[in-house]
Amino acid sequence: MTREIITIAVGGAGCRMALEFWRRLMAEHGIAANGRSMRSSRADERPRTFFVETRAGQYAPRALFVDLDPDTADELRAHELRQVLPPEFVVVGEADAASNFARGRDLGREALDDRVRDRLRKLVDSTQNLQGFVLFHAAGGGTGSGVAAALLDRLAADYRKKSVVTFTLMPSLALQRAATEPYNAMFTLSALRTRSALSFVFDNDALYAMCQRSLAVKDPSLADLNRLIGQAAADVTALLRFVDAEGGADLNTLQTSLVCAPGRQFITLSLAPVETAAKLGARPPDVSTISDRVRAPEACLAALDAGDPSAEKIIAAILIYRGKIAAKEINASLARLKARGWPSLVEGVAGGLKALQIDAPTASIAGDARGAAKRTVTLLAATTAMASYLERVDHSAGPMLAGQAFAHWFTDAGAEAGELLAARTDLVDLIDAYASMRAP
């Protein structure tokens, strides 16, 4: 029996990330923009995990789009996927959150909660065996942080036994778009710490650098960055949409494979190969090469920037190989990496490294700067380097909080005086949880 997943996009950035994800999934499953299947189903695919099949034989995303900004509804109505996005499952407000977590959370509870709850109930009622939810959002925005936090509370209250996995875009630490972004990110991490089963993290710094360095895109657009996020999310969910040699996976198996303890559910994603079509056509990399490349810092979609890479360890990791690849090729590649000391694993935890292979390759979509390789690998990693990453967030938010900079913007919008300090405490606890697993 199919175990369904409901996807929720929150905020303008979250909605655009999700749209790129859905474009990718429709291409991988041979579904046209009008929802019609363009080919016979593969024996190893399970599109109904994410798609609803109508009585007319059309497919539609099992998805909900939520934003406080009413303009998002117009954007979705004009999008190329508009024919498969029912307006009923687009919930918008009347004004945005002004880059303020507290405003977003309160508006999410007051202006959107009843409608979101109703639409979620309809989506849930249409499933036979719901396994959980996938959430796309940006931690730096007021809606992507505040409304997402309110929504996570709602999911915990109404569907507490269902897993929630997030694809979370962290704000750029090199170039802040709003003075409130560090606080928004801090609040988001606090909410995710207790409400998400897994959170895959990205940031525009790493995505921008990847586009420039590897894909020869001189001035990357947000669409370029979102396509990389959509690709990574499609690779992660390929485990849920296609049957591998082990029979397939679900959200629970992903969680148990990657999370060794509560509060350590923040996962990085790395892709290989990331090259233009011209480079791939000239010399397609072999399995050994992509296995080596995917562990390089420049392959990661989060700018970890660890101070001492030799001190960092892998807590748990999954390598997802896609395309026609023999098990012996994967095993030989991993043996070579092991001989060179990778991965350096944290001792005494049940994590380790798993390698899974799916015959279905990635699909190319219009606008891709990345060439479509026949064989790819994606690394899902829980790493102690997350401590350094989270420290950078704290280094932005901590001094601001110490001087009470902009704090009144949040209390004026409904946050209690102690909430900022409590969120900072949660962030420090997260940092300590990862740092404690580093090499002595």
pLDDT tens string 400-420: 776 666 777 888 888 887 898
Q: Give whole-number Cα distances, 235 to 61, 229, 271, in Å.
A: 17, 10, 9
HSE (CB half, 13 Å, CA atoms) of 354?
Answer: 19
CA dist 149 and 383 (Å) reads 25
User: pLDDT over 90 for what percent of the chain?
Assistant: 77
pTM for the predicted model, two decimal places: 0.96
Helix (H, G, I), strand (E, B) or coil at 34: coil
CA dist 243 and 66 (Å) reads 31
127-146, pLDDT tens digit by residue?
A: 999 999 999 999 999 999 99
Burial call 309-333: b when 16+ CB within 10 Å, e when fewer: eebbbbbbbbbbbbbebeeebbeeb
pLDDT at 245: 53
360-387, pLDDT tens digit by residue?
A: 999 999 999 999 899 999 999 999 999 9
Determine the angle formed by the axes of helices 222-241 and 251-258, rounding to 10 degrees: 100
pLDDT at 166: 99
* Pair type for strands 59-61 and 198-203: unpaired
pLDDT at 349: 82
HSE (CB half, 13 Å, CA atoms) of 11?
Answer: 30
Query: What domains, with CATH codes, occur in the chain?
Result: 5-256 (3.40.50.1440), 267-385 (3.30.1330.20), 389-435 (1.10.287)
The answer to whether 49 touches 127, Cβ cutoff 8 Å, is: no
Q: What are the residue ranges in the chain where pLDDT is below 70? A: 176, 245-248, 305-311, 399, 402-405, 439-440
pLDDT at 31: 96
